[in-house]
Structure 1
Amino acid sequence: MRFERVRLSNFKCYDDADLRLDRGVTVIHGLNGSGKSSLLEACFFALYGSKGLDNNLGDVVTIGADDTEVELWFAHGGKSYHVERRVRATGDQPTTAKCVLEAPDATVEGARDVRAYVQELLRMDAEAFVNCAYVRQGEVNKLINASPSQRQDMLDSLLQLGKLEDYRERASDARVGVGRVRDDKRGALSQLDEQIETKEDKELHARLNDLRTEHEEVSGEIDRFDEQREKAVETRDRAVEILESYEEKREELAALESDVEDLREQISETERDREELADEIGERRETRTARREELGSLLPETDLDGDAEDPPNAEAVDQRLDALGDREDELREELNDVTSAVTEYSTTAENLRETADDLDAQAEDKREQADDLESDVAETREALADRREKIDELGERIETLEAEFDDAPVEFGAADSFREEVADELSEVRETVAGLESDVENQRETIEEAEALLDAGKCPECGQDVDGSPHVETIDDDRERLAELEAELESAHERQSDLEDRLDSAEELAEIESEVQECRTNRSNVEQLVEQREATVEEKVEQAERLREEADEHESEAADKREAAGEHEDEADESRERVGEINGELATIREDRERLERVEDLLDAIADATDAIERLRERRDHLEETNDERRERLVEKRERRSNLQEEFDEGRIEQAREQRETASDYVEKADAKLESLRERRDELQSAIGGVENEIEELETLRERREALAERVEWLDSLYEETEQLQRMYGDLRAELRQRNVESLQAMLNEIFDLVYQNDSYARIELSGDYELTVYQKDGEPLDPEQLSGGERALFNLSLRCAIYRLLAEGIEGAAPMPPLILDEPTVFLDSGHVSQLVELVEAMREYGVEQILVVSHDEELVGAADDLVRVEKDSTTNRSTVVREEPEDRLLEVVGADD
């Protein structure tokens, strides 16, 4: 596996960064705190998301930003992949807004799915990645400080031996489960045996034969009773038919009696109705006579021809009404026109008066506006005098401020450039101070460690006894170097203090320049305002004169409007007189119309009365015909009643009643007996079914027992197989662990011998329980924690590299290993051990590690790199940037600095 490119947006201290990574050794260098480690954390976060972070998800978002975005391009197994993650921090909790991995064969979306895909692709989760390939800052001693059991868990997980333990535990769980199921099945088999024995003791087949015999006897008796009952039912039904026939005739006779009585009543009632109709005909005739008399008295008041005996026809009345209607329409149309004229004249007069009032008001407003303008002109002229005084004051202030530059180190106008130059120089001095402070601290730690070894009688360089050692005098060189560094640091502090004072002075000069510019701008603005106000004064004077002229014109026009309004009011009065004449003529027409409508109503009432009399006569004649028909039906029903009375035979009726009672009693008794027999037959049938079911259950139990016995036998065999499988996984894990321990020990000794070339130590031993022991040349064993700080750090780096190499060679390229990442590996190393670390990195490259990424500011590591990446942080914005360098250019810088 190889990282190819990483792009950041608002990630921790980076606004935007885009870095390409190549094969070989890449060293990322820069000052402490510049953000070097954040580049590697971004790659790790791109692969594993929140699982690759030590802190909250929101900590990756740049302070002040709403979201962050990380993209990583990497190659794995000869194929290219691209993963993109975006975190949004606008709500209460930071959330993953986007997570997409583009693979050659699929596109995976979602944080969990992407992480699962990466884990399957690399065959390791985030923790395994850290333990194997990612030596993070401050964790260089993680493996050596771990207990043997913790170290065993780490290595077993990396070598995937933990899966064998999972398989062994699964086999154990399966064995326990099989045993539990086998015991359950044995218990069920015992229960089946008891159930089968209980059913066999009941002699079910003999009992079934007895029940079937009794069932046949009861069924035969039921058939005999059914036959006798049917005969009794036939006798009862014949008697019932005779009685029902006589009952129908009795009901018909009663109905005839009722019909005869109803007909008599209907005839009497109809005769009474005929008498009432005769009375109503008389009333209608009296009403018609009264209407004719009223018509005779009303006709002379109209223009119609005729009298009460010979009235006018309806057509003549309609013609007269139509004539009156036409005249009324003409008058109403003229009335509408005259009324509209009155409204129009009145409205026009009112509008003219309102217009005149409005013109007077406008004239008054314009005079008021002219007065206001003249007042504004006076006030403006006073303000202009004040503005001119302000212009003079600003000129004096500008001259005073410019005089501040007479004794300044720069001319007026160059203060900003001067301030930037001082700030840049101060930033460089501060970086120098930070580097010197780091060097002083490292040098002090080296001297303290050397002094501790000297106190113990050991050489600080090689760890041998001090007596006769050629390296004892190096501690004095280190102390001289420390004194030089402290002197340089003190000088740098003084230079820094002087530059800070110069920066304060430069900022004051820049503020003076800014104030001068502001004063000049204000003076220019005031001068322009004075010019504008002077022009405005003249315009207001002319405008006041125009307003007074327009006021005079409005007053003259208002007088003309009032004169025209009086003329329109006179015309409105003439139209009102014509309205009164038209209303009088309409009242006369309305009276004539009402008399004619009454004549029309009387003619209609006379005609209606004549029609009603004719209808009543027809109805009275119809009632007479109806009564004649009823009298004929009454004679027929009386004859039918006499015939039915002659057909009744009381003796035959009594005989039919006796036969019905006798047959009904027998049927009732037979039904009771049959019910009892049927209940017994049903009981026998149910008992037969129950015995048959028990026989079937017995057969089923025997079949289940046979199948269950075979199942128990199979479970016994399966239990033995799971025991064997459990033992096999345990033995296999122990064997593979021993093989890996032997391989890891050989690789560890090979790497440690290569990078730690001295005569102090003979070999390193790794036990089967993952305990580490270092043997000196004299055979004395040492715990790794007894080594010096630098030796212990180098020992741990060798162990991590050996583990990486074991994994890479063990999987034979099936899952290419991730890049080997070393984050600040020189924290605990002195200058001599750094050289050995360089040899370790070179050895890992020779072993075939395709890509090695190192974060360090050590110059020796920088010089050994194939590619260099420099990280710089802006002290003003506190934001970092990434720059790729050519190793040759960086080497020239180092040589130049040494000269």
Structure 2
Amino acid sequence: MNFERVRLRNFKCYDEAELTLRPGVTVVHGVNGSGKSSLLEACFFALYGADAVEGTLDEVVSNGAEEMAVELWFVHGGGQYHVEREVKLRGDTAQTTTCVLETPEGTVEQVTDVEAKIASLLRMDAEAFVNCAYVRQGEVNKLINASPDERQDMIDDLLQLGKLEEYRERASDARVGVGRVRDDKQGALSQVESQIEAKEDKDLHDRLNALQAELAEVVDDIEDKRQDREDAKATLENAEGVVEEYESRREEMDELAAEIDDLAETISETEGEREALGERIRSLRETTESLEADLEETVAETDLEAADPNAVEARIEELDDEAEAIRERIKEKSVTAQEHAGTAEAKRERAEELREEAEERRAEADDLEADLEEERAALADRRANLEELDAEIEELRAALADAPVDRDAVEEHRDSVEEELTEARERVAELRAELENAEATVEEAERLLEEGKCPECGQPVDGSPHVETIDEDRERVAELEDDLEAAEERVEELAAERERAVEVAETAAELSRREESRENVAELIDQKAATLEEQADRVETLREGAEAAEEEAVEAAEEAEAAEAKADDARETIGELNGEKATLGDRRERLERVAELLEDVEENESEMETLRERRDNKAELNDERRERLAEKRERKAALEDEFDSAALEEAKEEKARAEDYLEQVKPYLEEKREERDELQADVGAVENEIEELEALREEREELAAVVDRLDSLYDEAYELQQTYADLRAELRQRNVETLEAMLNETFQLVYQNDSYARIELDGDYELTVYQKDGTPLDPEQLSGGERALFNLSLRCAIYRLLAEGIEGQAPTPPLILDEPTVFLDSGHVSKLVELIESMTAHGVEQIIVVSHDDELVEAADDLVAVRKDPTTNRSSVERSATLEAPT
């Protein structure tokens, strides 16, 4: 597995950062606190999320930000992968809002699924990742400081041996579970055998035969009584038919009597209605005679010769035509009057508008003349300003004559000095940090020397080969102090140079602004001169327009007076025509009265005719009703002759006898049915018991077979449990032997001296270091540098064992070392370089080291620089060098 690219947004001290990671040894360097370790933590977080965070999730979000995102692209097993995580702050807590893993097989979403997929790909969770591939800052001694049991659990989990223990425990649980099931089945078998014995003692088949015989007798009795009941029902139906027939005749006679009474009453009511219609006809005749008298008087008031409807209608039409002609003339005169009045009003309004227009033009001309004077004065001021700008521009050009670079290069020169000053300040910070570390080392060594102990291992000074390094450390302090003084002097020189460069850049910028202002002022002067000429022409045009508007206003007023006179003439004619129209209206009203009276007379005569027809119709209806009344009386008499009371009484007696039998047989049948149902239930119960007996016998055979199989399965589970335990012990021993060999190979490679012979790792992962004389040492007795190298060797050996596996090469994550030189002096750093080179030689494709040590930087295939801006406290990352890997 190789990391290819990582992208950060608002992760800890980073705003935006992106870095491509290449195969080989990559060293991430920078001053302390610049954010180097955060870069590796982002890769760890991308893979394992919250499990990779030591504190709370909100601590990885940059201060002042509301959200954070990390993306990691990596290659694993030949496939391309991309994982993205996004965290947002919601109130006081942080939540993962996006978690997506893109794989060659498809996309995996949601935190749980993504982390399960990552653990499956790498065959390790976050804790195993830290124990195997990621040596975090300050955790170099984690494995050696762990207890043997803790070390055993760590290594077993990495090598998947914990799975074998898990499988052994599962096999044990399975064996216990099978034993419980077997015991349960054995108990069930005993219970079934007891139930079979109890049922065989009941003689179920003899009891069934007796119940079936008794049931047959009851069923035959029920069938006999059921047939008698059917005969009684038939008799009942016949008797009911006769009774119903006589009852129907009696009802028909009663209905005929009621209908006869209703017809007689209806005939009487209709005769009364005929008399009322006759009274209405007489009243209408009297009203008609009165209307005819009014009609004769109204006709006399008109110019008609007689009350002829056609003549009335023709005369009304003639009057309407005359009135329409008058209305048309009135309309024409009204239009004429409106047109002349409108013309007069429009001309008056036009005259007023022209007078206002003339006044406005004169006022505008006056205002323009006043503005012209002010604008001419302003133009003179601008010309004076232009001369001042020319003088200032000459002064600025003279000031730039002594600049160290050309005018076009001043900004580039300033930026160059700024960058050089920043690098010089970073160098000062690095030297101060190194000086503090070196002084602390010397101070600790001097303290131990005073106490008579070695400054490296804490052992008695006598005979120790390490005492001489304190002089080298003191020389190193002196060199760092000289380098720091020179670096600080260089910072002061560059600060003065930067101040001069800033002044030159500001002068050049000011000159550009003045030149631009000069061009703008000159352009404005030319535009304003042209505008003043146009304004003078505009004043003359406005005064001429005002005179013309005054003349047009006088003409429009004269035309308005003429139009008003014509409108008055038209109004007078309209008054005369309205008088003629009123006279025609009176004549028409009298003719309309004649027409109304003629219609009333006609309506009364029509109504009298209708009433006569209704009276005749009612007479005809009464004749028909009298005929129906006679027919119903004849039918009623015939029914009374046919009615036989004796036959009706005999039918009622037969009906009562049949009902009495049916009422008596019903409870008998119910009793017999209950007896039959009880016998059937008893028969069914016995049959069920017989079926249960057969089922119990089959169940006994099945349970006996299951108990036999469970006995066999119990023995197999025990054998599997023992197999997993033996396999784990065998594999652990093989891994211990391989790990011990790799550990000795690695440790001897990086630490060759006359003090130590070998390292021993027993089956419980207990570590022992043997000196050349065979004396055993606990790893805790090693010096600080040796102990750190010992732990790094152990971690690298475990990494190799995991990578090579038992069955060949296995894909593993990059080997990540975060500040591994914290406990190493310069001599041990060289050994660390050899250790890293040996891991590369053993096939580790990608190693990422975080360090500011120069020797590690020089040994890198690829360099990444991390810097922090002191003003924003934000880090940035860039590739500072690219070296060719050795072939």
User: Shorter-chain TM-score: what band?
Assistant: 0.7 to 0.9
1:97-116 matched pairs, under 5 angstroms:
99-103=100-104, 106=106, 113=113, 115-116=115-116
Deviates more, 1:421-430 or 1:562-571: 421-430
Which residue of 2 is the match for residue 150 of structure 1? 150
- AA aligned to 2:878 is T
Which residue of 2 is the match for residue 121 of structure 1? 121
| Counterpart contact for 2:830–2:855, Cα < 8 Å | yes
Which residue of 2 is the match for residue 897 of structure 1? none
Q: Secondary structure at the match of 1:828?
A: coil
| Counterpart contact for 1:868–1:886, Cα < 8 Å | yes
The 1:134–1:228 alpha-carbon spacing in structure 2 relative to 1, beyond 3 Å, is closer
- AA aligned to 1:253 is M
Which residue of 1 is the match for residue 863 of structure 2? 869
Distance, in Å, in 2 between the alignment partners of 1:133 and 1:298 is 130
| Counterpart contact for 1:260–1:637, Cα < 8 Å | yes
The 1:434–1:239 alpha-carbon spacing in structure 2 relative to 1, beyond 3 Å, is closer
1:249 aligns with 2:244: no
Listed one character per residue, the Cα deviations across residues 185-229 of structure 1 (whole Å, up to 9, x for unaligned) are: 456556656665666666655554444344333333333433444
Listed one character per residue, the Cα deviations across residues 422-471 of structure 1 (whole Å, up to 9, x for unaligned) are: 53443343233234224423433553565466567676799997556777
- AA aligned to 2:154 is M
| Counterpart contact for 1:462–1:758, Cα < 8 Å | no
The 1:83–1:257 alpha-carbon spacing in structure 2 relative to 1, beyond 3 Å, is closer
Which residue of 1 is the match for residue 722 of structure 2? 727
Distance, in Å, in 2 between the alignment partners of 1:240 and 1:781 is 126
| Counterpart contact for 2:108–2:114, Cα < 8 Å | yes
Which residue of 1 is the match for residue 84 of structure 2? 85
- AA aligned to 1:868 is D
The 1:182–1:288 alpha-carbon spacing in structure 2 relative to 1, beyond 3 Å, is farther
Gaps of 5+ in 2: none
Distance, in Å, in 2 between the alignment partners of 1:405 and 1:628 is 141
Q: In the comparison of the two structures, how many residue pairs are matched?
A: 879
The 1:474–1:89 alpha-carbon spacing in structure 2 relative to 1, beyond 3 Å, is same
Which residue of 2 is the match for residue 590 of structure 1? 585
Distance, in Å, in 1 between the alignment partners of 2:799 and 2:363 is 99
- AA aligned to 1:21 is R
Which residue of 1 is the match for residue 877 of structure 2? 880
From 613, 620, 633, the equivalent of 1:618 is: 613
1:277 aligns with 2:277: yes
- AA aligned to 1:72 is W
Gaps of 5+ in 1: 891-899
The 1:251–1:851 alpha-carbon spacing in structure 2 relative to 1, beyond 3 Å, is closer
The 1:399–1:700 alpha-carbon spacing in structure 2 relative to 1, beyond 3 Å, is same
The 1:284–1:875 alpha-carbon spacing in structure 2 relative to 1, beyond 3 Å, is closer
Supply the RMSD in Å over aligned alpha carbons.
Answer: 4.4
- AA aligned to 2:552 is E
Give the drift of 1:744: 0.8
Distance, in Å, in 2 between the alignment partners of 1:550 and 1:608 is 81
Distance, in Å, in 2 between the alignment partners of 1:454 and 1:270 is 152
Give the drift of 1:336: 3.3
TM-score, with structure 1 as normaliser: 0.84
- AA aligned to 2:425 is R
Distance, in Å, in 1 between the alignment partners of 2:637 and 2:515 is 145
Which residue of 2 is the match for residue 894 of structure 1? none
Which residue of 1 is the match for residue 160 of structure 2? 160
- AA aligned to 1:871 is A
The 1:411–1:264 alpha-carbon spacing in structure 2 relative to 1, beyond 3 Å, is closer
Give the drift of 1:887: 5.0
The 1:264–1:185 alpha-carbon spacing in structure 2 relative to 1, beyond 3 Å, is same
Q: Secondary structure at the match of 1:879?
A: strand
Distance, in Å, in 2 between the alignment partners of 1:90 and 1:530 is 59
Which residue of 1 is the match for residue 553 of structure 2? 558
Q: Secondary structure at the match of 2:760?
A: strand
Give the drift of 1:712: 4.3
1:804-883 matched pairs, under 5 angstroms:
804-813=799-808, 815-865=810-860, 867-871=861-865, 873=867, 879-883=876-880
Q: Secondary structure at the match of 1:774?
A: strand
1:511-660 matched pairs, under 5 angstroms:
543-544=538-539, 546-660=541-655
1:47-66 matched pairs, under 5 angstroms:
47-48=47-48, 56=57, 59=60
- AA aligned to 1:359 is L
- AA aligned to 2:102 is L
Give the drift of 1:160: 0.7
The 1:442–1:561 alpha-carbon spacing in structure 2 relative to 1, beyond 3 Å, is same
Distance, in Å, in 1 between the alignment partners of 2:737 and 2:131 is 19
- AA aligned to 1:771 is E
Which residue of 2 is the match for residue 332 of structure 1? 327
- AA aligned to 2:618 is L
| Counterpart contact for 1:164–1:733, Cα < 8 Å | yes
The 1:100–1:567 alpha-carbon spacing in structure 2 relative to 1, beyond 3 Å, is farther
Give the drift of 1:788: 1.5
1:389-404 matched pairs, under 5 angstroms:
none
Q: Secondary structure at the match of 1:743?
A: helix
Distance, in Å, in 1 between the alignment partners of 2:699 and 2:299 is 122
Listed one character per residue, the Cα deviations across residues 617-671 of structure 1 (whole Å, up to 9, x for unaligned) are: 3333333333333333434443444444444444444444444434433332233
Listed one character per residue, the Cα deviations across residues 794-817 of structure 1 (whole Å, up to 9, x for unaligned) are: 111111111122123324445333
- AA aligned to 2:82 is V
- AA aligned to 1:221 is D
- AA aligned to 1:268 is S
The 1:653–1:419 alpha-carbon spacing in structure 2 relative to 1, beyond 3 Å, is closer
Q: Secondary structure at the match of 1:871?
A: strand
| Counterpart contact for 2:46–2:84, Cα < 8 Å | yes
TM-score, with structure 2 as normaliser: 0.85
Listed one character per residue, the Cα deviations across residues 339-382 of structure 1 (whole Å, up to 9, x for unaligned) are: 33333332332233233333333344444444544554566677
Which residue of 1 is the match for residue 223 of structure 2? 223
The 1:499–1:263 alpha-carbon spacing in structure 2 relative to 1, beyond 3 Å, is closer
Q: Secondary structure at the match of 2:102?
A: strand
The 1:340–1:203 alpha-carbon spacing in structure 2 relative to 1, beyond 3 Å, is farther
Deviates more, 1:185-194 or 1:855-864: 185-194
Q: Secondary structure at the match of 1:361?
A: helix
Give the drift of 1:399: 9.2
- AA aligned to 2:73 is L
The 1:236–1:505 alpha-carbon spacing in structure 2 relative to 1, beyond 3 Å, is closer
Give the drift of 1:498: 5.0
1:174 aligns with 2:174: yes
Q: Secondary structure at the match of 1:882?
A: strand
Q: Secondary structure at the match of 2:264?
A: helix
Which residue of 2 is the match for residue 130 of structure 1? 130
From 766, 769, 774, the equivalent of 2:764 is: 769
Q: Secondary structure at the match of 2:757?
A: strand
| Counterpart contact for 2:47–2:83, Cα < 8 Å | no
Which residue of 1 is the match for residue 673 of structure 2? 678
The 1:809–1:303 alpha-carbon spacing in structure 2 relative to 1, beyond 3 Å, is same
| Counterpart contact for 2:42–2:70, Cα < 8 Å | no
Distance, in Å, in 1 between the alignment partners of 2:82 and 2:637 is 118
Which residue of 2 is the match for residue 72 of structure 1? 73
1:212 aligns with 2:223: no
- AA aligned to 1:284 is L
The 1:178–1:366 alpha-carbon spacing in structure 2 relative to 1, beyond 3 Å, is farther
| Counterpart contact for 2:6–2:70, Cα < 8 Å | no
Listed one character per residue, the Cα deviations across residues 511-546 of structure 1 (whole Å, up to 9, x for unaligned) are: 566567666766776676677667666665665554
Distance, in Å, in 2 between the alignment partners of 1:661 and 1:486 is 140
Distance, in Å, in 2 between the alignment partners of 1:195 and 1:361 is 127
Distance, in Å, in 1 between the alignment partners of 2:586 and 2:2 is 118
Give the drift of 1:764: 1.3
| Counterpart contact for 2:82–2:102, Cα < 8 Å | yes
Listed one character per residue, the Cα deviations across residues 725-760 of structure 1 (whole Å, up to 9, x for unaligned) are: 333323322222122112111211122122211111
